[in-house]
Chains A and B, each alone.
Chain A
Amino acid sequence: MAEIYSTAAIAISLIAGFRYFGPEFRGQFQIALPLSVVLLTASTTSRNGSFPKLWQLAVFIVLASAVPLIIYWLDRRLKLTHWERDVE
């Protein structure tokens, strides 16, 4: 189960970074961040058999924030989802 939780968490973070659901990033980010942190925590709990420590939770929050932000920046820079075509 740990692998499934981890994969789901990373998939959600990545999907949130791309603007497939619209040019608005903040809404996607606000939904994806808590979901990813919960799934990463569940993955670690499943793997270790104990609830993660505070520093591990902090790393999970940073990880769940950094992935969509990096993808979003790359999406804007490289126009991966082509939203700029419809701005005008």
Chain B
Amino acid sequence: MMAIMNDEVVEPSVPFRAAATFSAAHHRPRDLDERELDEVAGGVANLVTGGIGAGIGGLAAGVHYATSTLGTGGFRWGTFASVSLTTAASGFMIGTGVGLVGASLMGVARGAHVLGTSMIGAGVSLEAASGVSGQSGGSERE
């Protein structure tokens, strides 16, 4: 919590520390410089991109499942939801992981390949596990 008084930002005092005063100009919003833009592109932006891709990809997987099964009468709403959600979750992890590995390779975000590789592995595992449970009838109810 802070207050702006007389063009100064005043942060309230906390125990063992006096109240701090800064120039209000220091706290005004500003455009990001190139380095900060690169940091965003290598970090948070991948989560946004991954989320958008996962949502649309999950919906597309659900539509494809519905189109495939409506003709044969094998459509189940439970499986439709399962396919959409699983594809969205695994797609988010794989997509974000690929983005982070790419950002690391391009030098935008150093060390991001560690988290990226982990996310790709987790996404592939989730996709493989959902395929196994689907084949064994775990999500189907006759």
Contacts and interface: CB of A to CB of B under 8 A. Distances in A.
Report if A and B associate in a common complex: yes
Interface residues of A, number: 31
Contact of A10 (B41, B52, B91, B134): B91
Q: Main secondary structure on chain B at its contact with chain A?
A: helix
A74 B74 CA distance: 34
B63 interface: yes
B71 A48 contact: yes
A60 B34 CA distance: 41
Nearest to A46: B68
B95 A60 contact: no
11 contacts: A3-B131, A6-B64, A11-B57, A13-B60, A14-B91, A18-B49, A40-B64, A48-B68, A48-B74, A70-B56, A71-B56
Nearest to B54: A14
A47 B74 CA distance: 10
Contacts of B52: 71, 74, 78, 80
B45 interface: yes
Interface of B: 37, 41, 45, 48-49, 52-53, 56-57, 60-61, 63-65, 67-69, 71-72, 74, 87, 91, 94-95, 102, 127, 130-131, 134
A46 to B, nearest CB: 10
A56 interface: yes
Contacts of A66: 60
B57 A10 contact: yes
Contacts of B60: 10, 13, 63, 66-67
Contacts of A71: 52-53, 56
B64 A80 contact: no
A4 B120 CA distance: 15
